[in-house]
Amino acid sequence: MLVYKYPERTSWPSLLQRPVMDTAALETNVGNILADVKQNGDAAVRKYAQQFDKVQLQMLEVTSAEFIHAAAVLDADLKKAILQAKQNIELFHKAQQEAGKIIETMPGVQCWRKPVAIEKVGLYIPGGSAPLFSTILMLGIPAMIAGCKEIVLCTPSNAAGEVHPAVLFAAEQVGLDRVFKIGGVQAIAAMAYGTESVPKVHKIFGPGNQYVTCAKQLVNKSGVAIDMPAGPSEVAVLADETCIPSFVAADLLSQAEHGPDSQVLLVTTAGEIIEEVQKEVAAQLALLPRKDIAAQALENSRIILVKDTEEAMALLNAYAPEHLIVACKDDIGIADAVINAGSVFLGNYSPESAGDYASGTNHTLPTNGYATAYSGVSLDSFVKKITFQRLTKEGLQQIGATIETMAAAEGLDAHKNAVTIRLKYK
């Protein structure tokens, strides 16, 4: 990790820049696959499954027998862990439910807002080097609580056409019974446009590699909603002299092992911890099965020494990290200064892993600086807020002149007349 000591604020933009890639060729390739699936449906999905995942799929949808087999073979301790995480995530997300409150803005004029579930949603769960069954809990649970009528889950199978049993067990526990063995761009296309087997959805959720991310952005342009823009995963750690260097190193590595394009950032007010953290990173890295991946990620990562906490928070808010860990003595006080972050972990005993799996908060979060304007996935992500109003005759008489005056000033006479005709009605 490169070390920068007391950098000038003018250097912050370049110092905090994420890796940039040329997406022109990527968009062309992804666009071609999307168009093929839109035109040719299941046949195109099977073709790309053979091409990219080396699997010949007969049935695209997971059968009830496969769900039963998954539950039978999955390790008992992992089942128990999934159920504990499910309980915490449900508890946190159920607390986000809102009841519409009627506001009388003036006598006879009532307004309210009602949350209504998005009817059809699609969840994408990556396979690849690690099956992210935890993401099923993070997406499926709020979708079920919201009351989405149709929930489709797509995830790639292995070369034998099998989906990891933890993925199927988690899906079953959440209540998701429509699971398709489709990965990559073809999965996003199938959910966006619909095929003979896969229903078309209104909104697509879930992480993925650069191809999946590009596919989501392209279908978004054609009218299918997505959860949020996304990039490689990232963590920033703010540490002072009270941090525990081995903990900080473990947090940095837990993010670095996601992928070679992941980015980790350590901002500290205590120069004396830098060498200790670096030693711990080296020692822990050597023991990791995914050390080659983590080592590549560390090449894009930085340690920044700043003069005080105020400057540290200014820098971190400019960076807008997906995950922010505050390993400082006044973690609660510092929390008030957080403006831009996806999810925040306070104190020495709050690893990012807790939020990734089981504390209850959602791990689907804005990356690549989008935390300046986007929130992570929540119950709100699966609902629309529809506003209502009801005016009595007396209410319209109270507010009518205001509407008429404003409509006339904008030159919209039909708008004005919609009020006038009612006021004159006997």
| Residue 248: CA count within 13 A, CB half-sphere | 26
Is 110 annotated in some ligand binding site? Answer: no
Average pLDDT, the chain: 96
Is 323 annotated in some ligand binding site? Answer: yes
Encode pLDDT of 252-279 as tens digits: 999 999 888 899 999 999 999 999 999 9
Averaged pLDDT, 84-113: 96
Is 415 annotated in some ligand binding site? Answer: yes
Is 258 annotated in some ligand binding site? Answer: yes
- The CATH T-level fold of domain 392-423 is 1.20.5
Annotated active-site residue in 66, 172, 322, 352: 322
Averaged pLDDT, 405-420: 98
Domain ranges for the chain:
24-104+117-226, 231-375, 392-423
Annotated active-site residue in 93, 164, 323, 363: 323
Averaged pLDDT, 12-29: 87
Distance CA 167, CA 304 (A): 39
Q: Please say if 323 is a catalytic residue.
A: yes
With a cut of 80, say whether residue 20 has pLDDT above it. Answer: no
Tokens of 185: 């761009």
Encode pLDDT of 144-172 as tens digits: 999 999 999 999 999 999 999 999 999 99
**Mean pLDDT lowest among 123-137, 395-409, 410-424:** 123-137
Tell me if 385 sits within 8 A of 115, measured CB to CB: yes
Residue whose C-alpha is closest to residue 255's, from 343, 314, 191 = 343
pLDDT recorded at residue 376: 96
Q: Please say if 322 is a catalytic residue.
A: yes
pLDDT recorded at residue 129: 63
Residue 128 pLDDT class (50, 70, 90 cuts): low
With a cut of 70, say whether residue 104 has pLDDT above it. Answer: yes
Residue whose C-alpha is closest to residue 127's, from 100, 159, 99, 150 = 159
The reply to whether 231-375 shares the fold of 24-104+117-226 is yes
Question: Among the CATH numbers 3.30.70.3040, 3.40.50.620, 3.90.1010.10, 3.40.50.1980, which is that of 24-104+117-226?
Answer: 3.40.50.1980
Is 124 annotated in some ligand binding site? Answer: yes
With a cut of 80, say whether residue 221 has pLDDT above it. Answer: yes
Tell me if 328 sits within 8 A of 349, measured CB to CB: no
pLDDT recorded at residue 18: 87
Tell me if 148 sits within 8 A of 120, measured CB to CB: yes
Cite the beta strand spans of 102-144 per DSSP E: 103-106, 109-117, 120-124
pTM, 2 dp: 0.94
Is 233 annotated in some ligand binding site? Answer: yes
263-268 and 234-239 as β-strands: parallel, antiparallel, unpaired?
A: parallel
Is 164 annotated in some ligand binding site? Answer: no
Residue 320 pLDDT class (50, 70, 90 cuts): very high
Residue whose C-alpha is closest to residue 322's, from 258, 241, 240 = 258
Is 193 annotated in some ligand binding site? Answer: no
Is 202 annotated in some ligand binding site? Answer: no
CATH of domain 231-375: 3.40.50.1980
With a cut of 80, say whether residue 21 has pLDDT above it. Answer: no
Averaged pLDDT, 281-302: 94
Encode pLDDT of 326-342 as tens digits: 999 999 999 999 999 99
With a cut of 70, say whether residue 406 has pLDDT above it. Answer: yes
With a cut of 70, say whether residue 358 has pLDDT above it. Answer: yes
With a cut of 90, say whether residue 234 has pLDDT above it. Answer: yes
Residue 248 pLDDT class (50, 70, 90 cuts): very high
Which H or E element spans position 5? strand 2-5
Residue 137 pLDDT class (50, 70, 90 cuts): very high
